[in-house]
Amino acid sequence: MPVQDVKEFIQQVDFESFTEEESAGIMEVLSDAPAEVKDVFEEQVNIFGNENFDSYVPTGSTIDVGQRRVLVAAGAAMTAVGAATQGAAGSGGSKGGRKVK
C-alpha cells in the first residue's frame, strides 16, 4: 500500500473510538510497519494521548509507549525528590565555612 494511501486511511480513522482489543491488534501491526508508515501514523495521531496506544513502539524507539510513560514518570519523581532534598539541605544557613566573630 503506498504511503499516501496509508496517510489518507489514517486521517479517516477515529483511533480514539477503538476498543482496547482492537487498538492492541492495530498497534501490533503498526509497530512492525515500515518507518515511513509509522511516521505518517505518528504525525496524524497523538500516540501519548490515549492509553490504547501503550503497546505501540514509535519510530526510532526500542520501548513501547507504555514503558516510556513509566520512565518519564519515574524521572519526574526522581527530579522532584532531588529538588526537595536539595532544598532541605540548602536551608541550614551556612556561613561558607568561616567562623564569624
Contacts of residue 26, Cβ cutoff 8 Å, sequence gap at least 6:
15, 18
- What is the SS3 assignment for 56? coil
- What is the SS3 assignment for 31? helix
Instruction: Kindly state whether residue 85 falls inside one of the protein's structural domains.
Output: no
Q: What is the rounded CA–CA span in Å between residue 35 and residue 17?
A: 25
Instruction: Kindly state whether residue 13 falls inside one of the protein's structural domains.
Output: yes
Instruction: Kindly state whether residue 98 falls inside one of the protein's structural domains.
Output: no
User: How does pLDDT run across 52-87, given as a tens digit for each residue?
Assistant: 889 899 998 999 999 998 998 888 888 888 877 876
pLDDT at 65: 92
Q: Which residue has the higher pLDDT, 12 or 95?
A: 12
Instruction: Kindly state whether residue 93 falls inside one of the protein's structural domains.
Output: no
The domain in which residue 59 lies consists of 3-73
Instruction: Kindly state whether residue 44 falls inside one of the protein's structural domains.
Output: yes
Total structural domains within the chain: 1
pLDDT surpasses 70 at 98? no
- Band of the pLDDT at 100, cuts 50, 70, 90? low
Instruction: Kindly state whether residue 97 falls inside one of the protein's structural domains.
Output: no
Q: What is the rounded CA–CA span in Å between residue 47 and residue 84?
A: 32
